[in-house]
Amino acid sequence: MFSENVAGKVVLITGASSGIGEHLAYEYGKRGARLALVARRENRLKEVASKAKSFGSPEVITIPADVSCVQDCKRFVDLTVNHFGQLDHLVNNAGIVPLSLFEDTTDITNFAPAMDINFWGSAYGTYFSIPHLRKSKGKIIAIASSAGWLPAPRMMFYNASKAAVISLYESLRTELGKDIGITIVTPGLIESEMTQGKFLSKEGQMVLDQEMRDVQVTVVPIRSVTEAAKEIVNSACRGDSYLTEPAWIRTTFYWKVFCPEVLEFLNRWLLLSGSSERETISKKLINLPGLKKYVYPESVRNPKFKPN
């Protein structure tokens, strides 16, 4: 199967200061791509840019921006094209995870950023990039999530935003035809700040809560972000329509289609059953002696959080 050579091509990545976005920058850098890295944390972007250059990227620019702001999205696309003269791959990766039971939410508007960042942040950047991607016969890589079809409690706003992302790019693929390739990525649990316990709380604040991480993630193995990034870039370069990473997560989609009641029961039993919200069956399982060592990577067991 033909695989695109991205050496010298221009790749714009949002949410590039950590997690999947950071490691996609390194993977594209190893392949000789020129990079435009976008995120809100300027200091972190500079660190990622330096490392991406050390991996082989010939040129990297950093653009501090907020993807939930439409003007920022137009600005980072314009700056990228004005600097490099072209745009070949757009990677829409920026995202946050709200975590709260629906009825425990004190102000439902606190979770509006989930759609603003996860969905609209992706749509805005795509809108301004399409004319340039059409010229280059380029590609869009949409980082959605398997949460788009999984009924996990406490994550309904995240799940809804990712379902919207999947639907957006499936519809857009129909509109664009062969002019622009679109790869929709639906990761499971990947090594990142999210799986380290960084969430948007019901009070509307980003918090670190590893105890609730254990409740929500439970015994599901967390995939290495380095390996995930490699598979994502491979998939994009092949021109795949979809990628689920790790591959076994795709089986949950078929559970959703053929026996949704079973999937709902398992989620309710694992994530909601227990003496309190923080003493669920899911947490008791992950706290079994020695189990975290086998399902959590070192960076998740002993995280070193990057400053905001």
Q: What is the rounded CA–CA span in Å between residue 88 and residue 10?
A: 5
CB 195 within 8 A of CB 189: yes
**In 3D, which of 218, 194, 23, 208 has the Cα closest to residue 97?**
194
Active site members: 158
**In 3D, which of 59, 54, 105 has the Cα closest to residue 80?**
59
Cβ density class 91-116: b for 16+ within 10 Å, e for less: bbbbbbbbbbeeeebeeeebbebbbb
CB 159 within 8 A of CB 202: no
CB 27 within 8 A of CB 233: yes
